[in-house]
């Protein structure tokens, strides 16, 4: 402030300090994960159905019921495997989407707008970016946990053909959760009430499950719809997950992985930006 000759280095040093203040810290976010784990220890029984049971019920219902209907035609659609084996890895990806999206909606909004604990947390050494990174990391971890269970069931029932394939599917579920949770967290931190979630879930999440190659090949859709599908994360997740489950060769693997990562990383950056904008007035 006083010495004119040191003005430039001082300013650039300040700019660096200001960036460090705003950026996520390499490790502080883990305290948000441990906070959410403390909450989860009390609340886990409430989410057992949606995280573990529901995907299996859907798989059993659709796989067996719809499988009978599809019958001999299945091979033509699936390229030789049973209909259950065809939709199981896709359902695993779409349940990672559902779980990731749900956890990114109400629990986040509650902490921003209702119980407002995020206001208290950003008054500790954690900054807004740490809170967002930790919140997204917890969701991804929770989905990884549910996916491990689902993959184990597929292995035991013989639907998944190899342990390596099952591991690959878990990896895909983790990326899927990341790709959906991050942008939806970004949306949630801008909301004042939960009315906006109806839009997200009815107009985006639910239709995506049908138009991403989950129940039938994406190539059966009109070209324009295919294009839209490839712009969203689930189609990539389904393609990857199915290939891991059935052990079929993958073309464009990096393209699919890149798409999921792009949604996740882009969503995280948006979440940090929008959360700061809301909280640091």
Partner 1 sequence: MGMTNSAAEPTALIRARGLTKVFGARSAVAGIDFDVRDGEFFGFLGPNGAGKTTTMRMIAGVSPRTSGTLEIFGKDPDLHGSEIRGQIGVVHQQETLDMELSVRENLLVFGRFFGMDRASIATRADELLELFQLSDRAKDQVEPLSGGMKRRLSIARSLIASPRILMLDEPTTGLDPQARHLLWDALQRLKRGGTTIVLTTHYMDEAEQLCDRLVVMDQAKIVAEGSPRQLIVEHASREVLELRFPNGTESIDVKVLEGIGDRYERLAERVIVGCENGEAAHARALEHGLDPESWLVRRSSLEDVFLRLTGRTLDE
Which residues are near partner 1 by CB under 8 A? 14, 17-18, 21, 25, 28, 31, 34-35, 38-39, 42-43, 115-117, 119-127, 279-281
Q: Least CB distance from residue 205 to partner 1, whole Å?
A: 25
User: 86-104 burial, b for 16+ CB within 10 Å, e for fewer?
Assistant: bbbbbbbbbbbbbbbbbbb
Instruction: Compute the distance between CA of residue 263 and CA of residue 274 in angstroms, rounded to an integer.
Output: 16
Residue 118 or 211: the one with the smaller Cβ distance to partner 1 is 118
- Say which residue the tokens 């342990």 belong to: 163
| Minimum distance of partner 1 from residue 141's CB (angstroms) | 16
Q: Please, which residues have CB within 8 angstroms of residue 234's CB and are 6 or more apart in sequence?
A: 93, 94, 97, 176, 208, 209, 212, 214
Between 159 and 274, CB nearer to partner 1: 274
Q: Is 232 within 8 Å of 208 (Cβ atoms)? A: yes
Instruction: Return the ∠ at Cα 207 (arms to 203 and 211), rounded to 5°.
Output: 140
Six-digit token pair at 184? Answer: 């939806």
Of 14 and 157, which CB lies nearer to partner 1 in the complex structure?
14
31 or 261: whose CB is closer to partner 1?
A: 31
Q: Of 119, 131, 104, 272, which is closest to residue 194 (Cα–Cα)?
A: 104
Q: Are 136 and 107 in contact (CB under 8 A)?
A: no
Residue 61 CB, shortest distance to partner 1, in Å, is: 32
CB of 39: closest distance to partner 1 in angstroms?
5
> Least distance from C-beta 100 to partner 1, angstroms?
20
Nearer to partner 1, 121 or 159 (CB): 121
Residues 6+ apart with CB under 8 A from 249: 243
C-alpha torsion angle, residues 107, 108, 114, 117 (rounded to 10): 110
CB of 77 to partner 1, least distance (A): 45
> Which of 250/279 has CB closer to partner 1?
279
Least Cβ distance, residue 151 to partner 1 (angstroms) = 29
Looking at the Cβ atoms of 34 and 157, the one nearer to partner 1 is 34
d(CA 147, CA 138): 14
CB contact at 8 A, 241 and 166 = no
Cα 167 from chain centre: 17
Cα–Cα distance, 104 to 132 (Å, whole number): 11
- Residue 41 or 156: the one with the smaller Cβ distance to partner 1 is 41
């Amino acid at each position: 402030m006083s010495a004119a000759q040191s003005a430039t280095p001082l300013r650039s040093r300040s700019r660096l300090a200001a960036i460090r203040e705003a950026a996520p810290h390499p490790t502080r976010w883990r305290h948000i994960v441990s906070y959410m784990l403390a909450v989860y220890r009390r609340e886990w029984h409430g989410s057992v159905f949606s995280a573990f049971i529901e995907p299996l019920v859907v798989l059993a219902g659709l796989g067996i019921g719809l499988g009978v209907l599809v019958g001999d035609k299945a091979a033509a659609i699936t390229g030789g495997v049973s209909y259950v084996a065809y939709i199981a890895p896709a359902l695993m990806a779409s349940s990672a989407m559902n779980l990731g999206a749900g956890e990114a909606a109400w629990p986040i909004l509650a902490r921003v707008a209702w119980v407002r604990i995020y206001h208290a947390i950003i008054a500790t050494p954690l900054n807004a970016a740490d809170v967002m990174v930790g919140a997204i990391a917890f969701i991804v971890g929770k989905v990884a946990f549910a996916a491990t269970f689902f993959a184990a069931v597929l292995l035991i029932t013989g639907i998944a053909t190899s342990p390596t394939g099952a591991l690959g599917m878990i990896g895909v579920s983790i990326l899927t959760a990341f790709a959906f949770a991050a942008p939806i967290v970004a949306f949630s931190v801008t909301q004042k009430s939960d009315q906006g979630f109806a839009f997200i879930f009815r107009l985006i999440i639910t239709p995506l499950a049908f138009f991403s190659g989950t129940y039938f090949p994406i190539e059966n859709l009109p070209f324009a719809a295919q294009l839209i599908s490839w712009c969203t994360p689930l189609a990539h997740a389904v393609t990857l997950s199915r290939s891991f489950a059935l052990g079929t060769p993958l073309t464009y693997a990096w393209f699919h992985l890149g798409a999921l990562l792009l949604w996740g990383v882009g969503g995280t950056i948006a979440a940090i930006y929008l959360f700061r904008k809301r909280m640091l007035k």
